[in-house]
């Protein structure tokens, strides 16, 4: 059970803000030029395929905003290039507040550190986090590894002979396992997949020895069914819905605590502060609604609301930790 979040005032997202046009000399043109936000359809891009945790977060929040904003909020999947195509679409949509994206941190922050993906971390504004999902290292039923200690000991003695599925080459799961090799000399062979569905098929089919995967609801269901056996989780502290599973820090890897996927709303850089504030308030109000929390998963909604400033700090930390690794 999550600890109760701070009590937030239930903000009415439908309370539109007024953006007043200004002349070249900075003077207001007049009330006739005032424009309410939102005054037209909002597109919320999902940079991943339908059906995953990012898609769920986007559609849940998009539906909530759609109820509160008079113009509709349309959710559009634009998957490809590890999430970069969706980010590009958002940025190209303009910075008036009508082109948004559900970002998946760290992936959205690490992509431009590794290669030219058509955007940088200066090209978007994180508005608010929606869910936080830790990673879990899991093996299949009947695995030769009964514990994380056994898996890591074998990998240390047999470099590269343990295959671990990860949800993409630039994800936090991949980065943390690369750091496992750099910092602790335990070398695993990483096998990138496009998401949880592919990783699940690979593990159940015996095509990989383990997966380091978002502990989303589908994964928890496999754990409950006994198809997945969890060996370790990624945050600094144990998660209350997997209370018997040790953290990587507990297992002797105190630096490996950053593999937590944060899904949240973002807008292109240059979006007016008033619009960003309206969207931040609207997400805060959505996350106070019991039906929204239930759909997202009570265990995944942050205990404390993560607004623009804190979300940006999270991204800055990811860039600081993973940047040197990606730019080697």
The encoded tokens of residue 298 equal: 């009570």
The pLDDT tens digits for 234-275 are 999 999 999 999 999 999 999 999 899 899 999 999 999 999
**Is residue 306 in some structural domain?**
yes
pLDDT at 69: 93
- Residue 246 near residue 232, CB atoms below 8 Å: yes
227 CB-near residues (< 8 Å, 6+ apart) = 140, 141, 204
Question: Do 128 and 267 fall within a single domain?
Answer: yes
Q: Is the domain of 172 the same as that of 318?
A: no
Is residue 241 in some structural domain?
no
| Widest pairwise Cα distance in the chain | 74
**What is the pLDDT at residue 81?**
85
One domain, residues 267 and 289: yes
Taking the C-alpha atoms of residue 168 and residue 163, their distance in angstroms, rounded to an integer, is: 14
Range of the domain at 28: 17-132+261-326
- Specify if 4 maps to a domain: no
Cβ neighbourhood burial of 285 (10 Å; 0-12, 13-18, 19+): buried
How many domains does the chain divide into? Answer: 2
* H or E element at residue 276: helix 273-286
* Distance separating alpha carbons of residues 51 and 67, to the nearest angstrom: 22
Domain with residue 188: its CATH number is 3.40.190.10
State how far the Cα of 154 lies from the Cα of 18, in Å rounded to an integer: 62
Strand partners, 43: 74, 99
- C-alpha 260/C-alpha 264 separation (Å) is 13
The answer to whether 199 and 165 have CB atoms below 8 angstroms apart is yes
Q: What H or E segment, with its residue span, contains residue 316?
A: helix 308-326
Single pTM value for the model: 0.79
Cα 100-216-148 angle, rounded to 5 deg? 130
pLDDT of 194: 80
How confident is the model at residue 8, as a pLDDT? 42
Cα angle 54-59-65, degrees, rounded to a multiple of 5: 125
Shared domain for 229 and 138, answered yes or no, is yes
DSSP states of 245-304 = SPBTTTTT-TT----EEEEEEEEETT--HHHHHHHHHHHHHHTTSHHHHHHH-TTTS-SS
- The answer to whether residue 148 is domain-embedded is yes
Contact 69, 63 (CB under 8 A): no
List phi, psi (to 5°) of 291. -70, -30
Contact (CB, 8 A) for 288 and 304? no
Which pLDDT does position 6 carry in this prediction?
Answer: 43
Same domain, 145 and 217: yes
182 and 157 housed in the same domain = yes
Are 24 and 127 found together in one domain? yes
Is the Cβ–Cβ distance between 70 and 12 less than 8 Å? no
Q: Which of 217, 233, 249 is the last residue of a domain?
A: 233
Q: Which residues of the chain have pLDDT under 50?
A: 1-16, 18, 20-34
In whole angstroms, what is the distance from residue 39 CA to residue 32 CA?
Answer: 15
Same-domain pairing of 147 and 197: yes
The per-residue pLDDT for 15 is 44
Q: Which two tokens stand for residue 303?
A: 């205990």
pLDDT at 11: 40
Co-location of 111 and 29 in the same domain: yes
State the CATH number of the domain containing residue 93. Answer: 3.40.190.150
């Amino acid at each position: 059970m999550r600890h109760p979040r701070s009590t937030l005032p239930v903000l009415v997202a439908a309370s539109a803000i007024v953006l007043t046009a200004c002349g070249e000399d900075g003077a207001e043109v007049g009330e006739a030029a005032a424009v309410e936000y939102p005054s037209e359809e909002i597109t919320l891009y999902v940079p991943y395929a339908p059906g995953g945790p990012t898609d769920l977060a986007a559609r849940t929040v998009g539906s909530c905003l759609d109820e509160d904003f008079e113009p509709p909020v349309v959710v559009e999947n634009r998957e490809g290039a590890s999430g970069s195509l969706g980010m590009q679409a958002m940025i190209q949509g303009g910075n008036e507040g009508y082109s948004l994206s559900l970002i998946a941190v760290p992936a959205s922050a690490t992509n431009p550190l590794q290669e030219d993906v058509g955007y940088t971390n200066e090209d978007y504004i994180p508005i608010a986090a929606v869910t936080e999902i830790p990673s879990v290292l899991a093996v299949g039923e009947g695995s030769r590894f009964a514990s994380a200690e056994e898996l890591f000991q074998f990998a240390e003695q047999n470099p590269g002979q343990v295959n671990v599925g990860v949800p993409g080459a630039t994800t936090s799961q991949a980065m943390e396992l690369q750091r496992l090799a750099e910092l602790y000399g335990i070398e695993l062979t990483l096998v990138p997949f496009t998401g949880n569905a592919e990783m699940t098929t690979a593990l159940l089919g015996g095509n990989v020895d383990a997966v380091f995967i978002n502990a989303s609801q589908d994964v928890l269901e496999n754990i409950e069914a006994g198809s997945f056996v969890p060996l370790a989780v990624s945050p600094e502290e144990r998660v209350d819905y997997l209370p018997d599973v040790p953290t990587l820090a507990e297992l002797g890897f105190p630096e490996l605590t950053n593999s937590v996927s944060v899904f949240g709303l973002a807008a292109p850089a240059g979006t007016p502060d008033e619009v960003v504030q309206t969207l931040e308030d609207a997400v805060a109000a959505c996350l106070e609604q019991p039906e929204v929390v239930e759909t997202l998963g009570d265990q995944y909604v942050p205990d404390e609301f993560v607004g623009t400033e804190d979300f940006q700090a999270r991204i800055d930390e990811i860039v600081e930790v993973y940047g040197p690794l990606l730019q080697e």
